């Protein structure tokens, strides 16, 4: 069994996935990992949209592309090709929080880290998808995944069986010690 430090160091963003759904029990355990993250003032106001439907994932990705194009931002990849912001993952978890919860972003980042560490521990891949926040630009997409007007997308994470094994990215740190 890997130590927690080994799992922390083994985690890396995976951006290619096998075309294979995750068992329901695994999805449940991933959500369980997210649930145990701390939240500011213990408000526990995060809500999870657990999406495994490929068509829906593709629609959400297209919504992000449209939002970027509307803002005149360049799309990565060959011209004309549809960008896939969710990298072909079989599971997309979108996290929402009330707009008036000022710690929604922090709470969700901790939940995503729990998900990423847990998935690493069971040899699954994962990646934080900050771009998913752009889904908010399309009211129809928000309706499609039942996001109420008072809620905001604060984070998203994808998970699945990896189809790549990239080298770990170099990690830097600036720390000043006051002994």
Note the residues at the interface with ligand FMN (CB under 6 A): 12-13, 15, 127-131, 169
Smallest distance from ligand FMN to CB 113, Å? 9
Smallest distance from ligand FMN to CB 24, Å? 26
How many whole angstroms separate alpha carbon 130 and alpha carbon 136?
12
Q: Which pair of structure tokens corresponds to residue 65?
A: 């592309």
- Decide whether 28 or 82 has the Cβ nearer to ligand FMN: 82
- Decide whether 10 or 148 has the Cβ nearer to ligand FMN: 10
Closest CA to 69 of 127, 21, 134: 134
- Decide whether 24 or 76 has the Cβ nearer to ligand FMN: 76
Burial of 171 (0-12, 13-18, 19+ CB in 10 A): exposed
Helix boundaries (H) for 71-103: none
Position of minimal CB gap to ligand FMN? 130
Residue 77 pairs in a beta bridge with: none
Smallest distance from ligand FMN to CB 88, Å? 12
For 9, the enclosing helix (H) or strand (E) is: helix 4-10
Smallest distance from ligand FMN to CB 13, Å? 3
- Decide whether 44 or 168 has the Cβ nearer to ligand FMN: 168
């Amino acid at each position: 069994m890997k130590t927690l430090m080994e799992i922390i160091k083994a985690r890396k963003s995976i951006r290619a996935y096998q075309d294979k759904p995750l068992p329901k029990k695994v999805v449940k355990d991933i959500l369980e990992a997210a649930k145990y993250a701390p939240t500011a003032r213990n408000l526990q106001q995060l809500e999870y949209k657990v999406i495994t439907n490929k068509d829906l994932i593709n629609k959400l990705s297209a919504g992000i592309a449209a939002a970027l194009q509307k803002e005149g931002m360049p799309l990565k990849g060959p011209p004309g090709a549809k960008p896939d912001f969710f990298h072909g993952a079989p599971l997309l978890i979108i996290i929402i929080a009330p707009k008036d919860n000022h710690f929604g972003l922090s709470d969700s980042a901790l939940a995503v880290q729990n998900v990423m560490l847990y998935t690493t521990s069971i040899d699954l891949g994962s990646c934080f998808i900050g771009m998913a926040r752009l889904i908010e630009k399309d009211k129809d997409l928000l309706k499609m995944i039942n996001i109420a007007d008072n809620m905001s997308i604060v984070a998203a994470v994808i998970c699945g069986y990896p189809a790549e094994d990239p080298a770990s990215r170099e990690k830097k740190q600036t720390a000043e010690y006051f002994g």
